[in-house]
Amino acid sequence: MKSYSLSIYRISINRRLNKDDKMCLSDYDNGKDLLFQLKELFESWKVENNQTNSPLVIKDENEKKISRILKHANGAFEFHTLGRYISGIIESGEFGTEENIINSNTGELQYRKKAEDAQMIPFFFMFNIPENSRYGFLIIERIGNIGIYSTLTKSIQKYIGQNIEEKLVLKIEPFMIREVLNRNLNVVSDAKKVILKGVRNQKLSLSQITENLIEEEHVQTDVVYKAPRNRFLQIRNWLDKLNSSKNKNGHYTFQDIEYADVAFELKIGGNIRTVSIARINGLGTYLEITDSVTIGSNGYPTYNSLQTEAQKLLSYIKDEDEE
């Protein structure tokens, strides 16, 4: 079963060499508005090939990826603008390899995929660029472990860079929402393993055999706490201990052991992930939506159901701003 999630990113524009000097996104570089520049970019993507009547393909030769705005059989593009919002579906796929396409029931060869062919997967995206604000937001759908962040951000940064006069830097960075972090911690409140990382060997009560094997100074190892069968380790309990055990060197101590980091082996969205405490806030940058979306006839979530979930994600930001 495929898993679906929405990742959220915060957009800002700062003066080069001065990251604290952030621009108003609706009025920068002599009156430019990022929302209108994004519209111009995507309108250029909708230009069609005169011979095939197909939308323009954005090609990344380095990553062997192509992308384009989804165009339905009736000729309509899945691209929408409303107020300070832009949303739609971008198809993206990889090329450069050859594979057999077979019938899943009979095993019969149906088609030999050529190196120039690409299987196009639909990904939802939404921009919110509030007026008179230094920050905007981008929400992108991920399907399993794949998405369009790299392709989309490269295109945006290239287009904006070519169409501004001042020396400015556009950033699109993962953004942590407390409500989302709390929700994800509630879902993944149990771990099978907790790994203490970067423990120096002299800090441990090692057996004589181990001491004979490891004679070098400053050798480091990992210590793994593994839950018994059919039992789990409570993450929140560990986080409480860690928050109170960090020393002035930025390391942690537990049972007289000093270590550089700690990681949790978690099951998230059907996948096993190892998340370090240094990146624990990353759990607040995406929302699992597999059980909340409606699957369409193409086997992927519908645009309307994805848009509904994206609006919920943005509402969490507004709630935090009002606190």
* pLDDT greater at residue 279 or residue 315: 315
pLDDT at 240: 66
Q: How far is the CA of 9 from the CAs of 12, 58, 149, in angstroms?
A: 10, 22, 10
Report yes or no: 283 and 275 within 8 Å, Cβ to Cβ: yes
Q: Is the per-residue pLDDT at 214 higher than 60?
A: no
Q: Given pLDDT bands bounded at 50, 70 and 90, which one contains residue 182?
A: confident
Measured from the Cβ of residue 12, the count of other Cβ atoms closer than 10 Å reads: 18
Report yes or no: 313 and 180 within 8 Å, Cβ to Cβ: yes
Q: Is the per-residue pLDDT at 210 higher than 60?
A: no
Read off the tokens for 73.
Answer: 């059989």
- Quick one: angle between helices 149-162 and 34-45, nearest 10? 110
Average pLDDT over the chain, rounded to whole? 83
* pLDDT greater at residue 95 or residue 185: 95
Out of 88-92, 100-104, 192-196, 210-214, the most confident range is 88-92
Share of the chain above pLDDT 90, in %: 48
pLDDT at 229: 76
pLDDT at 204: 47
Q: Given pLDDT bands bounded at 50, 70 and 90, which one contains residue 92?
A: very high
pLDDT at 57: 84
Q: Is the per-residue pLDDT at 124 higher than 50?
A: yes
